[in-house]
Amino acid sequence: MCRGGDRGAKVADPAVGAGGDGFVARERVRMGTITINGQVCEFMAGEKILDVANRVGIEIPQYCYHKGLSVPAQCRICLAQISAPNPRNDNALEPMMGGKLLPTCSTDAAEGMVVTTESEKAVANQKAVMEFLLINHPMDCPICDQAGECTLQDYSYRYGRGHSRFTDQKVKQPKKDLGKNVFIYSDRCILCTRCVRFSQEVPGTGELMIDGRGNQSQIDVFPGEPLDNPLASNVIDLCPVGALLDKDFLFTQRVWFLKKTPGIDPITASGDNIWIEHNKGKVYRFKPRTNMDINSWWITDEVRYGWKFVHSEDRLRAPQRREHGVLVESSWTRALNQAIKTLKDSSATGKSSALVVSPMLTTEEAFALTTALREVDGSIRVYLGPVPMDGEDRAFPNPSAPSGKFVMRAEKAPNARGVKRALEASGAYSGDFDAFMSAAPQLGAVVLTGNYPSDWASDRIAQAISDADLVLIDTLNSRLVEMADVVLPSATFAEKSGSFENVDGVVQHFDQSIPTQFMSKSEGQIGNDLLELARGGSLDEHPPAFGAMIVDDQPGQVAEGSDSVSLPRGELYDPAVVRASMGSLSEYFGGLKVAPESAKVESDMVMVEL
Ligand code: SF4
Ligand code: FES
């Protein structure tokens, strides 16, 4: 984008800013060109100089600026020397403000401007700002959670002096508990005020403030008002240093061991874009992934910490089947054969069977499982599972996003629309969960899929299916396990790939992050395995590699010891193959938004060989 162009023409703006990942392209009006550090760059309507630099990849150091917040221009590290054409002097290029340094984050880009952050004066300012910020900063990088993704650390290499001239005592400040999920280590704070502005401008709760004056200033909450709003933990991501820390992630991993895989909110119907960060088969944290059309830069705490059930002690670990009235652990083959027999016996007695497909499943899995079970029992009725709701949608102001708001969704399932669409496409859709509850007393057998992040087995569900034989495909232990004739452990969102359709009808793909845990399988793989056995085949004829499947050959991707895990399977489940077989839905998947590549979490600090 650093070249001349047609003024007024519309171009794609990859929405790159602080924290941006270029996932969504938006159209902006092209206004003209400016020169930044010798590179001629197009600029768009309403862009500041720093926006242009961030978008085209020219580095200008920045702390207080964030594209999603107001612009106080207070850290002063982005200052540059700027010249602009003077219309009162025949458009001759003249230094702005008499040659004083100006903040690029708050100065509008204008035609013909020439900007430099590499002049002697600009570099002297960068060194002065870094020295000032580091005067009272503790030397605790080796034990700081932010090390490896800290802009103070990175900039001290690139813009700092390399040594300290400060010989006095550093001011020591306390560590404080700010709220449910956030600690502050005050003496690491550089007072950029991103966190204060966020709490005032987005959730609008304004719990945070600066307390004290001069070198005694520190971020704190107002008395009796803990930082506990639904978006609170976004301040952790906004903090450019290791001052605001995630209680849940603290001291669990060094960030350079983490690998990040693009994901979609697996907890609510928002479709929020996330990074799933993991190492050695274990998820450690979620971070927001910028998508200006959906979640902009933020996610709710509900989504951020919604992954904990992936590694719950309550995970169902192995298939089980009822033998002489007792539930016993089983091989996959015997459990699946018993599931097939349960459906066939119900049909033989003249009673109907039903499949309930959870809105936690991917669209492809819903289709694959339905197709497989219809081959086992051609008369099986198929229903959408319960869609949890919690009150009403909550809209928060989000002034810098195109929609002007950030919405927390009341619907607590990621894919009710996609699953319903897949069931309709399969030709077997019999209705929603209320329709299932009405039909339940007449059913002979029920295949029930769950995969909810917490215990979802209500008395109402248990009572409704108490007379039917139950094949349970679920993730967590519940009272339904005690009622089931066959229990099949299913994989969570992190252990599979596929697509979710959000509340606005946007279909988005996500990748598998970690190998399947214990002996669980994705519902899609369970469908393939059922088909194999129903057709008289054997699971053991296939290479026993599913459980140990290497998702990606990057370091940190495979669970320790997983090489020894091997589960017999039918044809390997592949969402792309299912999509290709979904005939009437091919147009629906035509607009599938493909996520960016997985990546390593890494700072851009240059590694020095010692
Ligand atoms: S705690 Fe972090 S985000 Fe808040 S003012 Fe300090 S450095 Fe900035
Ligand atoms: S980023 Fe411009 S003054 Fe802070």
pLDDT, one tens digit per residue, over 40-66 is: 999 999 999 999 999 999 999 999 999
List every span in the chain annotated with CATH 3.30.70.20: 139-311
Predicted local distance difference test score (pLDDT) of residue 286: 98
How many whole angstroms from 106 Cα to the centroid of ligand 2?
Answer: 8
CA-CA distances (angstroms) from residue 461 to 359, 433, 465? 16, 10, 6
- Nearest listed ligand to the Cα of residue 217: 1
How many whole angstroms from 542 Cα to the centroid of ligand 1?
Answer: 54
Q: Which residues lie with the beta carbon below 6 Å from any ligand 1 atom?
A: 184, 189-195, 219, 238-241, 243-244
Predicted local distance difference test score (pLDDT) of residue 163: 87
Sheet holding 486-489, edge to edge: 326-329, 320-323, 486-489, 469-474, 443-449, 352-357, 381-384, 429-431
**SS3 of residue 211 by DSSP:** strand
Work out the pLDDT band at 23, boundaries 50, 70, 90: very low
Predicted local distance difference test score (pLDDT) of residue 582: 83
- Residue 562 pLDDT exceeds 60: no
Ligand 2 atom nearest to CA at 75: 4
Q: What percent of the chain has pLDDT over 70?
A: 88
The predicted model gives 229-248 an average pLDDT of 98
- Nearest listed ligand to the Cα of residue 77: 2
Predicted local distance difference test score (pLDDT) of residue 283: 96
The predicted model gives 257-267 an average pLDDT of 95
The predicted model gives 55-82 an average pLDDT of 97
Q: Where are the alpha helices (DSSP H) in 440-585?
A: 459-464, 479-483, 523-534, 575-580
Ligand 1 atom nearest to CA at 193: 5
Q: Write out the two tokens for 39.
A: 């590179």
The pLDDT tens digits of the residues spanning 168-202 come to 999 999 999 999 999 999 999 999 999 999 999 99
Predicted local distance difference test score (pLDDT) of residue 591: 64
Predicted local distance difference test score (pLDDT) of residue 29: 84
- Residue 541 pLDDT exceeds 70: no
Work out the pLDDT band at 457, boundaries 50, 70, 90: confident
- Residue 2 pLDDT exceeds 70: no
Mean pLDDT, the chain, rounded, equals 89
Q: Where are the alpha helices (DSSP H) in 454-549?
A: 459-464, 479-483, 523-534
How many whole angstroms from 450 Cα to the centroid of ligand 2?
Answer: 48
The pLDDT tens digits of the residues spanning 281-300 come to 899 999 999 999 999 999 99
Predicted local distance difference test score (pLDDT) of residue 322: 96
Q: Using an 8 Å Cβ cutoff, are 71 and 48 in contact?
A: yes
Q: What is the CA radius of gyration of the chain?
A: 28
Choosing from 64, 102, 152, 191 the residue with most ligand 2 atoms within 8 A of its CB, the one to mutate for a pocket test is: 64
CB atoms under 10 Å from CB of 2, counted, come to 16
The pLDDT tens digits of the residues spanning 472-523 come to 999 999 999 999 999 999 999 999 999 999 999 999 999 899 988 989 999 9
- Residue 451 pLDDT exceeds 80: yes
Q: Is residue 191 within 6 Å of ligand 2 at its C-beta?
A: no
Q: Write out the two tokens for 389.
A: 């709701």
The residue among 340, 362, 379, 330 whose CA lies nearest residue 529 is 340
The predicted model gives 357-381 an average pLDDT of 96
pTM of the entire structure?
A: 0.90
- Residue 604 pLDDT exceeds 70: no
Query: Is the model more confident about 7 or about 85?
Result: 85
List every span in the chain annotated with CATH 3.10.20.30: 10-128
The residue among 395, 387, 385, 445 whose CA lies nearest residue 411 is 387
Q: Using an 8 Å Cβ cutoff, are 528 and 569 in contact?
A: yes
Predicted local distance difference test score (pLDDT) of residue 15: 39
Q: Is residue 18 within 6 Å of ligand 2 at its C-beta?
A: no
How many whole angstroms from 239 Cα to the centroid of ligand 1?
Answer: 5
- Residue 9 pLDDT exceeds 60: no
The predicted model gives 7-35 an average pLDDT of 55
State how far the Cα of 501 lies from the Cα of 510, in Å rounded to an integer: 11
Predicted local distance difference test score (pLDDT) of residue 146: 95
Work out the pLDDT band at 110, boundaries 50, 70, 90: very high
Ligand 1 atom nearest to CA at 190: 7
State how far the Cα of 112 lies from the Cα of 116, in Å rounded to an integer: 13
Q: In this structure, which amino acid lies at residue 18?
A: A
Choosing from 70, 136, 194, 197 the residue with most ligand 1 atoms within 8 A of its CB, the one to mutate for a pocket test is: 194
Q: Which CATH superfamily is domain 320-596 in?
A: TPP-binding domain (3.40.50.1220)
- Residue 586 pLDDT exceeds 80: no
Predicted local distance difference test score (pLDDT) of residue 596: 67
What is the topology classification, in CATH, of domain 139-311? Alpha-Beta Plaits (3.30.70)
How many whole angstroms from 78 Cα to the centroid of ligand 2?
Answer: 5
Query: Is the model more confident about 539 or about 384?
Result: 384
List every span in the chain annotated with CATH 3.40.50.1220: 320-596
How many whole angstroms from 71 Cα to the centroid of ligand 2?
Answer: 8
The predicted model gives 578-595 an average pLDDT of 74
Choosing from 54, 75, 238 the residue with most ligand 2 atoms within 8 A of its CB, the one to mutate for a pocket test is: 75
Predicted local distance difference test score (pLDDT) of residue 16: 35
Predicted local distance difference test score (pLDDT) of residue 547: 43
Q: Whose CA is nearest to atom 2 of ligand 1?
A: 239
**SS3 of residue 524 by DSSP:** helix
- Which residues fall within 8 angstroms of residue 551, CB to CB, at 6 or more apart? 511, 512, 513, 514, 515, 557, 558
- Residue 6 pLDDT exceeds 90: no
CB atoms under 10 Å from CB of 141, counted, come to 16
Predicted local distance difference test score (pLDDT) of residue 599: 64
Predicted local distance difference test score (pLDDT) of residue 588: 76
Q: Where are the alpha helices (DSSP H) in 377-458?
A: 416-425, 433-439
State how far the Cα of 191 lies from the Cα of 200, in Å rounded to an integer: 16
CA-CA distances (angstroms) from residue 428 to 128, 192, 355, 382, 446? 69, 57, 10, 6, 15
Domain 10-128 has CATH 3.10.20.30: yes
